[in-house]
Amino acid sequence: MIEIQVELGDRAYPIWIGAGLLRDRALVRRAVPARQILVVSNQTVAPLYAPTLLSHFDDRSVEQVILEDGEAYKTLGSFERVMEGLLRARFERGCCVVALGGGVVGDLAGFAAACYQRGVDFVQIPTTLLAQVDSSVGGKTAVNHPLGKNMIGAFHQPRAVITDLDTLRTLPARELSAGLAEIIKYGLIDDPMFFGWLEEHMEALVAREVAVMAQAIERSCRDKARIVAMDERESGVRALLNLGHTFGHGIEHALGYGTWLHGEAVAAGMAMACRLSVAASLMSEADAERALALIRRAGLPIHPPVGVATEDLLSAMKIDKKNKDGRIRLVLLKGCGGAFLTENYPEDAFMAELATREES
């Protein structure tokens, strides 16, 4: 088992990574000491893993909220269902919310935990690659709204993150690729050695070779934990973790939440950021092509899909937490491993990028 500590003073917490961790009764009970527990999962994940998890709490008061699966259900309505589960059970402030699922479940459960009685414990048990390397770490919780993605939420750190590599065995190939997008992101942001390692091992990752996958997850979590420890509330360097996300969130909103997976939209967004960086004379064409080639090798798109109107994409991007004084701020690149946040880029190149679509 690998253990990584997210260093946040008295709110520090471990990320445990390994095979079979969900079956480790002592570890799970150590992570979740509460007597009152609400397990939040979805209709896909719960039948696979909830029975094992619940078997560890046979002497506790446990309730479940099982949500529909997908980004389309990351809503205030689903949030209300989780809150109602806590209230109906009359759980006290010492309770714990356990998120068993992917990023949607983790974000929803964490936001509910942040709000219930002004904040109760929660634990992340991520079951998708994307959640394991990104959304389960760092305490960003939120729901979507028809007018904007992740605009309603809170910072609320978990007690622990339990990453069981065995859950990746049941992950659909498309979901695996979506998670690889977030892994590629860490290399592009500020870890060029990791980016080079990914170029050497992408086929092994796509094939789910366990040892290689464990290395990629560990490196991603270490990179994110380091950045979160420096800037928990995204007032500075943590904004770089949004590479590709402003474009990507715009794609998700314009398409309708759930049409593309989050990682697919982020992948296209990272490719757009690379091409805009070249147009702005920040990144060499050779480095951009390395990035685009790696994204393609992961089975991911490098353009928005046909059918997304440019004006809809632009309108969605204007509702973003990084924007300042009405200007869309983007994470761009000075080479592979040189991300920075800026509102200064060629407007004509930006608009041209928004209008580009995948060739049929």
Per the annotation, the verdict on 238 as an active-site residue is: yes
Which one of the listed residues 224, 275, 290, 329 is annotated catalytic? 224
Per the annotation, the verdict on 11 as an active-site residue is: no
Phi-psi region of 295 (alpha: psi -120 to 50; beta: other; left: phi over 0): alpha
Per the annotation, the verdict on 242 as an active-site residue is: yes
Which one of the listed residues 219, 242, 252, 329 is annotated catalytic? 242
Residue type, 87: L
Which one of the listed residues 56, 249, 253, 290 is annotated catalytic? 249
Which one of the listed residues 71, 175, 234, 264 is annotated catalytic? 234
Per the annotation, the verdict on 30 as an active-site residue is: no
Which one of the listed residues 71, 175, 182, 353 is annotated catalytic? 182
Which one of the listed residues 156, 159, 262, 290 is annotated catalytic? 262
- Using DSSP bridges, classify how beta strands 140-145 and 148-155 pair: parallel, antiparallel or unpaired: antiparallel
Q: Which residue has the tokens 């983790």?
A: 106
Q: Give every CB contact of residue 135 below 8 A, 6+ residues apart in sequence.
A: 102, 103, 106, 107, 126
Per the annotation, the verdict on 140 as an active-site residue is: yes
Contact (Cβ atoms closer than 8 angstroms) between residue 75 and residue 256: no
Per the annotation, the verdict on 253 as an active-site residue is: no
Per the annotation, the verdict on 321 as an active-site residue is: no
Which one of the listed residues 149, 159, 185, 238 is annotated catalytic? 238
Per the annotation, the verdict on 118 as an active-site residue is: yes
Give the up-direction half-sphere exposure of residue 286: CA atoms within 13 A in the CB hemisphere.
0
- Give the active site residues: 118, 140, 182, 224, 234, 238, 242, 245, 249, 262
